[in-house]
Structure 1
Amino acid sequence: MFDMDVQFLFDMASQTILVNDKEQKAIITNPQMSENEERYLHTMDCVTLGHIVTLDNEKFLVVSETVTKRHSKYKAKIRHCNYTIEFAGEVIEDYLRDENGNIVYDRFGEPILITIEGDSIFIPSIVKNKTFSIAGSQLLVAENQIIVIVQESEVNKEKFKVNNTFNLMDYNWKVRNQDRTKKGLLILTCERV
């Protein structure tokens, strides 16, 4: 009976959000003001560390571990992704083909080589230039370094390997360290190059 009452109240007060691009009902509350745009996310289904939440067309990253229910619901802290890092799409070299799929040749009888660029990849991220803290643990970085927090995924682990570079804020950055101690998050220390 209690669970049914909680579910009814939850359904009345909740709104629809996206969690990893899937619709889910949630109640959003505000923590104390801080320099970061943060919210508490209350859900009936578990939302875990590293999930991407879309709220009011903005991307947020779940930055607190949520394993068990609190008062018949899950509660997680989400932080606004203040940057989106863009990686160029995969480049494929192929031969020019006609509408039937046959290779097209130039006037010398050579196949015409073309370059096809795939869609860019956009990775929502939290970027800080001085310090970053999650659940009381604080990371300090040098003047020419930033901390980048992204969702832990196969694509992100590949794109942000140690020594890989990316462009952000009109600078090129090299990944110096990839911290995976918070399951679901990649915490990267990056240096300007």
Structure 2
Amino acid sequence: MNLFEIDIQSVFDMASQTILVNDTKRQAIVTTPPLKENEERFIHTLDIVHMGDLVTIDDDKYISLTESVTKRHSKYKAKIRHCNYVIKMPGEVIEDFKRDENGELILDRYGDPIPITIVGESVFIPCIIENKSFSIDGYQLLVADNTIIVIAQDNEVNRVKFTVNNTFSLMDYNWKVRNQDRTKKGLLILTCERV
């Protein structure tokens, strides 16, 4: 190990704070760029942070909008943006039949199994919501009236919950997913229309 690597580790030991990246503890130095309309920060880490990673700092959720595949001055740097909304999606609905403590079917008076509906726990999805335009590294996406852009982490749960034509409630309105863009690896960018 060279001397500079030891020095960068010492700097991290002194100046870093504990954050969560996808619910895993990491040490990071958090810096704040000039003030903008949205809360953005830079995180400097010794381990890579991918685009779309969900970062938690002091109980606030952020999404990484950039990806660094190479180190800059012996560390990785990523730009994160505050998740301004959390969308509550209904849990998984399972159709089953009523059973006793031994797992045997309970039958009605006609000898038919009694159907039941089991609703799983709701899923809370932190995301960025924009209603005019959204930009990632100069790529500008404009939207029409009664339309929003939802930026969430691209994962299996979110892909299923936000399939095209699914609806969700937000800001006292119902929204229908019209397009699911996954061209930015790690980000799920949705165009949604008010219905």
Aligned to 1:145: 147
1:121 shift after superposition = 1.4
CA distance in 1, matches of 2:99, 2:178: 43
Deviations, residues 87-115 of structure 1 (Å, cap 9, x unaligned): 11111122222222222233443322221
Pick aligned residue for 2:50 from 48, 55, 74: 48
Long gaps (5+) in structure 1 = none
After the TM superposition, which parts of structure 1 deviate over 6 Å for at least 4 consecutive aligned residues? none
CA distance in 1, matches of 2:119, 2:43: 38
Q: What count of residue pairs does the alignment treat as equivalent?
A: 193
Q: Secondary structure at the match of 1:6?
A: helix
Aligned to 1:119: 121
CA distance in 2, matches of 1:110, 1:177: 43
CA distance in 1, matches of 2:15, 2:97: 56
CA distance in 2, matches of 1:173, 1:155: 18
Q: Secondary structure at the match of 2:27?
A: strand
CA distance in 2, matches of 1:22, 1:169: 31
Is the counterpart of residue 21 in structure 1 residue 23 in structure 2? Answer: yes
Report the residue type matching 2:20 in the other structure.
L
Deviations, residues 33-84 of structure 1 (Å, cap 9, x unaligned): 0010111111000001000001111110001121111111000011011111
Which deviates more, 107-116 or 29-38? Answer: 107-116
Aligned to 2:178: 176
Q: Secondary structure at the match of 2:157?
A: helix
Deviations, residues 8-50 of structure 1 (Å, cap 9, x unaligned): 1111111111100111111111011001011111100000100
Deviations, residues 127-175 of structure 1 (Å, cap 9, x unaligned): 0111111112221111111111011112222222222222211211122
CA distance in 2, matches of 1:158, 1:106: 35
Q: Secondary structure at the match of 2:144?
A: coil
Report the residue type matching 1:2 in the other structure.
F
Report the residue type matching 2:130 in the other structure.
K
Coordinate RMSD, CA, aligned? 1.3
CA distance in 2, matches of 1:21, 1:114: 34
Aligned to 1:186: 188
Q: TM-score, normalised to structure 1's length?
A: 0.94
Aligned to 1:96: 98
Is the counterpart of residue 8 in structure 1 residue 10 in structure 2? Answer: yes
CA distance in 2, matches of 1:169, 1:5: 48
Pick aligned residue for 2:63 from 51, 61, 64: 61
CA distance in 1, matches of 2:103, 2:42: 53
Q: TM-score, normalised to structure 2's length?
A: 0.93
Pick aligned residue for 1:30 from 24, 29, 32: 32
Pick aligned residue for 1:156 from 135, 158, 162: 158
Which deviates more, 28-37 or 131-140? Answer: 131-140
